[in-house]
Structure 1
């Protein structure tokens, strides 16, 4: 998060291929070395370095796609790129839990991905092509100062509002990724017939749901945008808004059914995440067509900084703090008559003197805390609705700036040819 602006600055001015290769290599090495650490301080340090490597990649990769493709083809390629986020997250749950189960050591979950990372580094160095910035749009713009870049981005209402909406998406995604499996597991413990269920079992299923919802949601958002964009120029932020506003009641319902019916809960989580995942590729597309090519890496970095700082960097902690506070409120001295949703479990008769040790208290405190994510989805939906008010204007201004500079270059080239012809004659 902190290093994203640095890589945004470098990505607009220097070799993106070398920056990406170095970042992925750092990412892979620190992940691998972290699995061998025996002290918390060194482990935490190496995990922090993983984030620096990730920042170098995530700020630059979308801009390379934007310089290779335009319009609908760009949208398709971005969908292909961004569906890897939820799919990779889902695979992380599955591979991590299975490797821990097979080897008997969680550290092996961190020793799988570095192998793939090294392959990625070799592909970036020897296979990937780093196009000229703005190449796909015929742009010949030159980079401006970093201060000017930030100033222009802050004036870009579509970019700022869509970043705010995407921050809400990150907030919800971060909270679900951290607390989702634990919450479902706690709900199952309150149901009869699930006494032998383990957190590892729930994590595995949650990973499959996350992965499949990404496979469905990310391309679905891109396809809807491509098909409706010609008829409705403002459809991109509207799809994002609808996705969040529909996802909110679905995830709210999932939290209610977690302690009643696990199958209904899993189904609602799946559909809630599908609608949440509609946003990923569309938000990236919005950024690329409302920002000129020479400041797109900076824009990506700015969006990453804001969405992480106010989104998934703090949401797991905030949900946990609220949950711990609610445990005290739900203790017998405060709430002696609270029962489970099926009426079969009484807090008053089953709570021990330590509320944190009671399954019902753990579940309900986390449930009430996770309700906050539904609220943030609604707020994010309204941010995207406001984005729709400015999207056409900002897109036109970016296209005008690109086309204007291209015309100047063509005129300069033509004048040069005429002058050289006159001299040669």
Structure 2
């Protein structure tokens, strides 16, 4: 295939700009759909548990099995992504996702383990697009346009998550069978899958970076060595891992902390203004989505302006990573303010919850863009796989578990409302303070970035 690493650029015409934009838009839509499906299950978890007659612990296996398959797929896709036609790999994964998600909505009551297996396979679609998209975008666009494409890709994530959570909540609160929540995404996915087969283009690997030089074939182990030998990549992944630990912990325990705070204060109207927990939690979710959306766009445009010397003349070569680093640094006190004010001042709590994600919104897209700039075109799928793998291993798995362990230790088994609230609050504060060390590694990544870019060029 003309997307393989040993293909001569003389054997095919590069995709037009229109084709590249169309392809990138379709890939972002695929990402939206897979995120939508991933989070819709959480919204209908109670009806699923009731339908299959399983315990809460067994219901938790739905998320656990998904993460396990997600990690396996990251490894396989990273392994194959730098040596195969990425369009074919993406469409194969998306087709499998479409089939298993559709099939999972028809599993009868007595076959929970089949349902669990099918839901775990749905991770193949989500993981594959996370690995393939950055590598393909790097071969569609040069650095400026590449940043915009990555920005839109990261915006599609909260869009998909919010759609999934909203649909799940609507289904749960209505008389509609929960299975329809799993059928909505495949209905939209089918025409997108068909159109993608015709319109998504496979670009020549390294076409935007190699300046006519041929991208040489390398072994899988050489790919891994090439990735982990880049200092900027190691520092970026390490810094992001620290931050992701708190991010996943608070995503899991945040609603519980809010409910515990309201119970501890006896739903004090002078603090919570008579707003119910469900309404307040929905409002917090909307704030998170909007702030992430605004922050992603603002962060990318600020980094671009800085790199062009429009706002500062110093540090231009490190602009993207410096924006990420300062955003993470300034978010630390706001994160602490959010945790401390949750039982004292609702305005301060909501304000901190809005501002912190806003100033950090560009962190992950800018890190992704920087990583693409320092990694060889022949190793980019592997780099994306390693990055996402580390994020899953350090965040999705241990983050919520560590917070739970700290909660149990600090509360000493007490069920008193005050004890439970303050124990969970302190547990999240401990993780937040520990995660703040990630800022050091982000600044180290900014320091080594220009040298690694020159080496790659």
The answer to whether the superposition gives a TM-score over 0.5 is: yes
Q: 1:220: which partner in 2?
A: 298
Q: CA deviation at 1:207?
A: 2.1
Q: 1:158: which partner in 2?
A: 232
Counterparts in 2 of 1:197-212, with a 5 A limit? 200-212=278-290
Q: CA deviation at 1:43?
A: 3.9
Q: 1:110: which partner in 2?
A: 182
Q: Residue 276 and residue 113 in structure 1: after superposition, are their counterparts in 2 closer, same or farther (change >3 A)? A: farther
Q: Residue 24 and residue 155 in structure 1: after superposition, are their counterparts in 2 closer, same or farther (change >3 A)? A: same
**8 Å Cα contact 2:303-2:323 kept in structure 1:** yes
- Separation in 2 of the partners of 1:64 and 1:32? 28
Q: 2:378: which partner in 1?
A: 294
Counterparts in 2 of 1:275-354, with a 5 A limit? 275-328=359-412, 331=414
**8 Å Cα contact 1:186-1:363 kept in structure 2:** yes
Which runs of 5 or more structure 1 residues have no equivalent in the other structure?
332-354, 400-425
Q: Residue 250 and residue 107 in structure 1: after superposition, are their counterparts in 2 closer, same or farther (change >3 A)? A: farther
Q: 2:160: which partner in 1?
A: 88
- Separation in 2 of the partners of 1:325 and 1:41? 34
Q: Residue 373 and residue 229 in structure 1: after superposition, are their counterparts in 2 closer, same or farther (change >3 A)? A: farther
**8 Å Cα contact 1:93-1:206 kept in structure 2:** no
- Separation in 2 of the partners of 1:234 and 1:283? 11
**8 Å Cα contact 1:240-1:282 kept in structure 2:** yes
Q: Residue 202 and residue 143 in structure 1: after superposition, are their counterparts in 2 closer, same or farther (change >3 A)? A: farther
Q: 1:148 aligns with which of 211, 222, 240?
A: 222
Higher radius of gyration, 1 or 2:
1
- Separation in 2 of the partners of 1:15 and 1:145? 16
Q: 1:403: which partner in 2?
A: none
Q: CA deviation at 1:199?
A: 5.0
**8 Å Cα contact 2:291-2:361 kept in structure 1:** yes
- Separation in 2 of the partners of 1:321 and 1:383? 27
1:13 is paired with a residue whose SS is coil
1:125 is paired with a residue whose SS is helix
Counterparts in 2 of 1:48-59, with a 5 A limit? 48-59=120-131
Q: 2:44: which partner in 1?
A: none
Q: 1:13: which partner in 2?
A: 83
Q: 1:192: which partner in 2?
A: 268
2:174 is paired with a residue whose SS is helix
**8 Å Cα contact 1:154-1:160 kept in structure 2:** yes
Equivalent residues, number:
373
1:135 is paired with a residue whose SS is coil
1:130 is paired with a residue whose SS is coil
Q: CA deviation at 1:253?
A: 0.8
Q: 2:339: which partner in 1?
A: 255
- Separation in 1 of the partners of 2:194 and 2:208? 25
- CA deviation vs aligned residue, 1:127-155 (integer Å, no higher than 9, x gap): 21111111223452023001111112121
- Separation in 2 of the partners of 1:91 and 1:262? 26
Q: CA deviation at 1:217?
A: 1.0
Q: Please, what TM-score do these two structures have when normalized by structure 2?
A: 0.76
Which runs of 5 or more structure 2 residues have no equivalent in the other structure?
1-70
Q: CA deviation at 1:192?
A: 1.7
CA RMSD of aligned residues (A): 2.3
More displaced stretch, 81-90 vs 15-24? 81-90
Q: Does 1:73 align with 2:145?
A: yes
Q: Residue 133 and residue 85 in structure 1: after superposition, are their counterparts in 2 closer, same or farther (change >3 A)? A: same
Q: 1:422: which partner in 2?
A: none
Q: CA deviation at 1:45?
A: 2.6
Q: CA deviation at 1:56?
A: 1.3
Q: Does 1:380 align with 2:453?
A: no
Q: 2:94: which partner in 1?
A: 24
